[in-house]
Amino acid sequence: MSGPRNAVDAGDVLDRVRRHQSPRVALTSTFAGQGAVEVGAGGCRVRLSDGREMLDFGSYAVTLLGHRHPDVVAAVREQLDVMPTASRTLANPVTAHAAATVSAYLDHALPRVYFGLNGADVVEVALKLARLTTGRRRVVAVDGAFHGKSLGALALTHSAHFRDGLEDYLADTAHVAGDDPDAVGRELARGDVAALVVEPVQGENGAVPIAPEVLRAWCASAQEHDVVVIADEIQCGLRRCGERSVALSAGLPVDAVLLGKPLGGGVVPLSAGLFSERLYRPLADNPFLHSATFGGHPLSCAALPAALNAIEALAPRGQAIEAQMSRGLADLRQAHPAAITAVRGRGLLWGIDLATPALAGEVLLGLAGAGLLVSPCLSRASTLRLLPPLVAGDGEVADALKMLDTTIAAAEHTLEGA
């Protein structure tokens, strides 16, 4: 049997996906790769089994540092040779150092840290802590929100696409309009609310920012009702949208900031919930209240200091990419007024609204064929997400914009002739 390090038979890979995972995943992967599969990556590029390369402006926001950033790879490799896993009985210096490092990264505004492996992990513990701290059960989230698909997090995720058939198992959550500064206050007045959970910039909803004045009004209402405020920055934090923490940089009085996706440097899975002393107290008093076998895994935690250092070193580059993307996407909207209905973005998170879901699907596949990976918005079928990495050069950003231009034009022509 051929292993993954040998020459790859793409047809065999897709057949295994079809038989053992999902026929639909196999089908979409076949279209996206034109029959090829991914076999390697470095920087902004993904290498395919047929020798082609693709520019990666997708990967669902994980590869902020691109693929295989050398500093992160070196840190993980070093830890692999020392102690890749933990006894779970003894304190581990790598995990402790990672906790101190990420707290310092946010200026110790939230001193307590819980590590998970993905975003939903830390959403779950945040919800549990909010309910235990306040003694209440209801939660307020925002229209268009995405916080994960595990049952606790799914209660906050707004799209019926993920919730259908599971409503009876989901906790009581109210979703409010993201442009209404009074919406949270009205909901809190109904009582029994433990937490307000908000993405300062919504990712899965198509790079939708919530206005600072709305966030401030919501936080004021939460403080008035002694409700916990949780900022989910799993996608928009860590300089993806310019700031280390969007909420803390805006001066919002939050009780928790949740980080993930690029926290492991695009090399290993890692997430972190940073909490106030008050919110974390139930877990400080009883650390077994919420635990996971691989929470704080040393191999993942070894990546964190290297990843944060690399992100900070590249932060000025992020500002340059933001300016180039802003100009380029504005020009694209002007060039394709019938196809592009809106463009939104901040930092390295951009959403393009296309006229119809059919056009968005045609553009998504056309971009893959042209050599550009972007992320669809699964709960917003007409919107595509662009997530350029900090390591992208001016030429690579220009190439991505050019591929968008030609692909949108071709998709318009194809659908007009259908």
At which of 267, 292, 309 does a domain end?
A: 309
List beta partners, residue 337. none
- 130 half-sphere exposure, CB direction, 13 A CA radius: 29
A 10 A CB-CB count for 84 gives 14
3 part of a folded domain: no
Cα–Cα distance between 109 and 87 in angstroms, integer?
Answer: 30
Residue 367 backbone phi and psi in degrees, to 5: -65, -40
**Residue burial 129-163, b: 16+ Cβ < 10 Å; e: rest:** bbbbbbebebbbbbbbbbbbeeebbbbbbbbeebe
Cα–Cα distance between 378 and 391 in angstroms, integer?
Answer: 26
The parent domain of residue 164 ranges over 70-309
State the DSSP H helix or E strand holding residue 82, giving kind and residue range, or none if neither. none
Name the nearest CA neighbour of 153 among 107, 116, 101: 116
Query: Do 113 and 159 fall within a single domain?
Result: yes
User: What token pair was written down for 208?
Assistant: 């939708």
Query: Do 326 and 290 fall within a single domain?
Result: no
Query: Do 62 and 137 fall within a single domain?
Result: no
**3-state SS record for 13-53:** HHHHHHHHCCHHHHHHHHHHHCCCCEEEEEECEEEECCCCE
Query: Do 214 and 96 fall within a single domain?
Result: yes
- 413, with CB counted inside 10 A (0-12, 13-18, 19+), is exposed
Residue 121: which CATH number? 3.40.640.10
Residue type, 157: T
pLDDT at 6: 58
Residue pointed to by tokens 């920087």: 43
Residue 33 backbone phi and psi in degrees, to 5: -95, 0
Residues of the chain with pLDDT under 50: 1-3
Query: Do 53 and 86 fall within a single domain?
Result: no
* Dihedral sign for Cα atoms in the order 401, 403, 406, 412: negative
212 part of a folded domain: yes
Query: Do 174 and 305 fall within a single domain?
Result: yes
User: What token pair was written down for 402?
Assistant: 């050019």
Please answer whether residues 404 and 340 qualify as being in contact, where contact means their C-beta atoms are separated by less than 8 angstroms: no
The share of the chain scoring above pLDDT 70, in percent, equals 98
219 part of a folded domain: yes
Cα–Cα distance between 223 and 347 in angstroms, integer?
Answer: 29
Please answer whether residues 252 and 231 qualify as being in contact, where contact means their C-beta atoms are separated by less than 8 angstroms: yes
45 by DSSP, 3-state: which?
A: strand
202 part of a folded domain: yes
User: What token pair was written down for 84?
Assistant: 């890749």
* Domains identified in the chain, total number: 2
Query: Do 298 and 318 fall within a single domain?
Result: no
Query: Do 28 and 156 fall within a single domain?
Result: no
Cα–Cα distance between 24 and 36 in angstroms, integer?
Answer: 16
344 part of a folded domain: yes
| 88 alpha-carbon distance from chain centroid | 28
pLDDT at 113: 98
Please answer whether residues 276 and 112 qualify as being in contact, where contact means their C-beta atoms are separated by less than 8 angstroms: yes
187 part of a folded domain: yes
At which of 257, 283, 309 does a domain end?
A: 309
Residue type, 172: D
List beta partners, residue 56. 373
- Assign 3-state DSSP to the chain and report helix, strand, coil percentages, each to 5: 45, 20, 40
Query: Do 130 and 214 fall within a single domain?
Result: yes
At which of 286, 309, 332 does a domain end?
A: 309
Residue 380: which CATH number? 3.90.1150.10
Query: Do 183 and 298 fall within a single domain?
Result: yes
- Kindly report the pTM of this predicted structure: 0.96
4 part of a folded domain: no
Cα–Cα distance between 133 and 195 in angstroms, integer?
Answer: 10
pLDDT at 3: 44
Query: Do 265 and 130 fall within a single domain?
Result: yes
pLDDT at 5: 52
- 263, with CB counted inside 10 A (0-12, 13-18, 19+), is buried
Cα–Cα distance between 373 and 386 in angstroms, integer?
Answer: 9
5 part of a folded domain: no
111 by DSSP, 3-state: which?
A: coil
Cα–Cα distance between 131 and 152 in angstroms, integer?
Answer: 12
State the DSSP H helix or E strand holding residue 258, giving kind and residue range, or none if neither. strand 256-259
Query: Do 39 and 182 fall within a single domain?
Result: no
Render pLDDT for 366-410 as a digit per residue (tens, 0 to 9).
999 999 999 999 889 999 999 999 999 999 999 999 999 999 999
